[in-house]
């Protein structure tokens, strides 16, 4: 490497020495070319930050769930999202109820105890399905989903399915296999569809949502303390299934 560099230096010196006016004191710089001002590239200024955002931060893309100015919803329902909610709700319901149900049928035991375990198992299906479907519905660019319609609709639908099941069991002349079909098809098929319908009936366009209410807000750290909201819940404590409303005294996020 050093030998090559030395040869290049010697060659350049010989080339300069062989040229006339090779004295560096006689060299002149090349002429300057005048360039118009509009041809000179200018650096673009950074985008102005929106209120409530740190300096220099880029605003979220329009149409995202976190955009400050949501895009108005399109005409017609979101069929793709509705189908996804229904399918994943059916899968969730099947995974929660089918295995315990068949275990109860295979393992002999007291009929009253089996009926109690069946009620407790199937009453938890609507809450599991609502969590799955609401998490999918929250991915919508255009709508915001309330937290109470899906669990409430699912609990009412599951209560109707269980009531119909036990009524058919006590009705003379009704086949036991038919009652099981009613129970499983209603829990796995009807309950997820009812919750999907409740979500899409009560969802609100994001463009129509009021600004978030807060007791205090710190722009530097993003700390926010909001007002609590009522939340319905279901309880199976003591073998008795009941519905109620939770009233949290304090709720916050940071």
Q: What is the mean pLDDT of residues 96-114?
A: 83
| Tokens at 19, concatenated | 């040229």
- Helices 111-123 and 125-137 sit at what angle, rounded to 10 degrees? 10
Distance of CA 162 to the CA centre of its chain: 31
* Helix runs in 138-175, H state only: 149-169
Name 167's Cβ contacts closer than 8 Å, sequence gap at least 6.
none
Q: What is the model's pLDDT at position 118? A: 87
Q: The tokens of 231 are what? A: 């939340």
Angle at 92 between CA 162 and CA 229, to 5 degrees: 80
Average confidence (pLDDT) over 144-151: 88
Ranking 57-71, 158-172, 237-251 by mean pLDDT, the lowest is 57-71
For 2, the token pair is 């050093």
The larger pLDDT score, comparing residue 87 to residue 214, is at 87
**pTM for this one?**
0.56
């Amino acid at each position: 490497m050093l030998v090559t560099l030395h040869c290049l230096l010697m060659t350049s010196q010989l080339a300069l020495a062989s040229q006339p006016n090779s004295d560096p004191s006689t060299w002149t710089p090349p002429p300057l070319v005048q360039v118009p001002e509009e041809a000179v590239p200018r650096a673009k200024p950074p985008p102005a930050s929106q209120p409530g955002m740190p300096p220099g931060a880029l605003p979220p893309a329009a149409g995202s769930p976190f955009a400050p100015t949501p895009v108005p919803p399109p005409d017609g329902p979101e069929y793709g999202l509705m189908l996804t909610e229904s399918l994943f709700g059916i899968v969730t319901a099947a995974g929660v109820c089918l295995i315990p149900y068949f275990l109860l049928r295979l393992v002999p035991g007291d009929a009253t105890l089996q009926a109690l375990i069946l009620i407790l198992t199937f009453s938890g299906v609507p809450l599991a399905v609502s969590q799955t479907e609401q998490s999918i519905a929250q991915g919508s660019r255009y709508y915001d989903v309330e937290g109470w319609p899906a669990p409430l609709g699912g609990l009412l639908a599951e209560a109707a399915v269980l009531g119909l099941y036990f009524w058919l069991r006590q009705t003379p002349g009704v086949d036991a296999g038919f009652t099981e079909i009613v129970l499983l098809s209603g829990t796995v098929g009807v309950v997820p569809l009812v919750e999907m319908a409740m979500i899409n009936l009560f969802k609100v366009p994001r463009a129509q949502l009021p600004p978030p209410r807060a007791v205090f807000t710190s722009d530097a750290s993003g700390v926010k303390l909001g007002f609590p909201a009522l939340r319905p819940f279901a309880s199976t404590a003591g073998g008795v299934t009941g519905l109620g409303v939770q009233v949290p005294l304090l709720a916050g996020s940071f």
